[in-house]
Amino acid sequence: MYVTPRPDASEDPFYAVRLGLIGALAYSAIPLIDPALPPIICALPVGLIASQRKSFNVGKAIAGPVVMIVLVYVMTWAVEQMRPMPVLYVAVMWLTYFAGYLMILRTGAQAGMLIVIVSVLMSVMGMHGSATVETMRDGFVQAALVGLLIAPVVYWLVPPRTREAHVDTPVPGGGNVAIGAAIRATVLLGLSFWLYSVMQPSDMMMAVIAAMVLVFPTRRAVLWEALQRVRATFYGSMAAALALAVVVWSPHLPIVLGLVFLTGLYFGDRMIHGPHPSMVYQYAFSVMLALVAGALSTQDASYAVLTRIVLTLVGAGAAVAAVALLDGLTDWRGERRPIRGAGAA
């Protein structure tokens, strides 16, 4: 799968400032539109905008939100049509997961990741009922529109130094990718029922952890990515805990926005200079935004949120282990080569 490279300080020296602005502007949209699911509103625009590199790409800035909106409407319709027929519902879920993973493994393109994320979130929410999946749909649409509006603003306020456009270079996978996609779709299907049992709708952005760790083609890459996601969740949770500790003493919106900006500034700097892959810090910022928005909007007890995070990570860990085991048993990538000369007289 294609992995977005680390931001280059010589090409985009104020990337960290822009990341902080993305988070602050997205969070400031929450009191304006009063969404049912605030964590999505502030976390999703970070993923849509912060993954851009070098100069502002208008096509990506428009295509990402538009594709997201189309996908959530298609998935909402499919979920509502199939939900009265459980067997067909599960079959459609599996086929959608399979199509997304097949695209990722066959082409390396990140578009398949978007299909998987939207599919797993909408499918799991569909198990709660039509009203819940429609609420999730509306949250995705609102977040996509917020990202669409924020992107040109932050790039106008904090433009990169370079005018060169970044070109993605996805690397196609090898081996029998259909088997690899089938393994991942089957494991994610089982994980979906686990997420349904342990997660609340307001926490569903955390479910992205589970879907994203399964996209990589090799056992070593899957295990390594799982470690990075756990690390990012820990960093984001610690940042959220610190921010909430301050907000308890001064519960005012400007204070929250300032804390969000400073956190984005820190994680943005780490994306450029940190010892871990840049996506660890970007995802940590998204986790922090989702947890802070969820805690302040629902007034949920911190121990309950922590419990659901731990349960999500447990489920994701079991899924990673299952994928690694099945990849090893099937050897769909052909990594076990016969020893040269074996069987010779």
Structure confidence by residue, pLDDT tens digits, 4-47: 778 888 888 999 999 999 999 999 999 999 888 888 898 889 98
How far apart CA 99 and CA 70 sit, in angstroms, is: 16
Burial class (CB in 10 A: 0-12, 13-18, 19+), 105: buried
283 falls within a domain: yes
The domain in which residue 249 lies consists of: 15-330
315 falls within a domain: yes
Count of structural domains, the chain? 1
For residue 341, what pLDDT is reported? 47
For residue 309, what pLDDT is reported? 67
142 falls within a domain: yes
pLDDT band at 344 (very low <50, low <70, confident <90, very high): very low
- Assess contact for 26 and 45: CB atoms under 8 A: yes
165 bridge partner residues:
54
DSSP readout, 72-139?
HHHHHHHHHHHTTSHHHHHHHHHHHHHHHHHHHHHH--THHHHHHHHHHHHHHHHTT-HHHHHHHHHH
7 falls within a domain: no
310 falls within a domain: yes
Specify the amino acid at residue 225.
E
260 falls within a domain: yes
pLDDT band at 74 (very low <50, low <70, confident <90, very high): very high
Structure confidence by residue, pLDDT tens digits, 255-308: 999 999 999 999 999 999 989 888 889 989 988 998 888 878 765 545 555 665
Helix (H, G, I), strand (E, B) or coil at 153: helix
54 bridge partner residues:
165
Structure confidence by residue, pLDDT tens digits, 102-154: 888 888 777 778 888 888 888 888 887 888 888 888 988 999 999 999 999 99
4 falls within a domain: no
For residue 264, what pLDDT is reported? 95
**Mean pLDDT over residues 73-96, rounded?**
89
Q: To which residue do tokens 């089938």 refer?
A: 182
Q: What is the pTM of this model?
A: 0.85
How far apart CA 5 and CA 132 sit, in angstroms, is: 36
Please state, as a whole number, how many other Cβ atoms lie within 10 Å of the Cβ of residue 345: 2
Helix-then-strand count for the chain, H and E = 12, 0
For residue 204, what pLDDT is reported? 64
How far apart CA 182 and CA 174 sit, in angstroms, is: 15
259 falls within a domain: yes
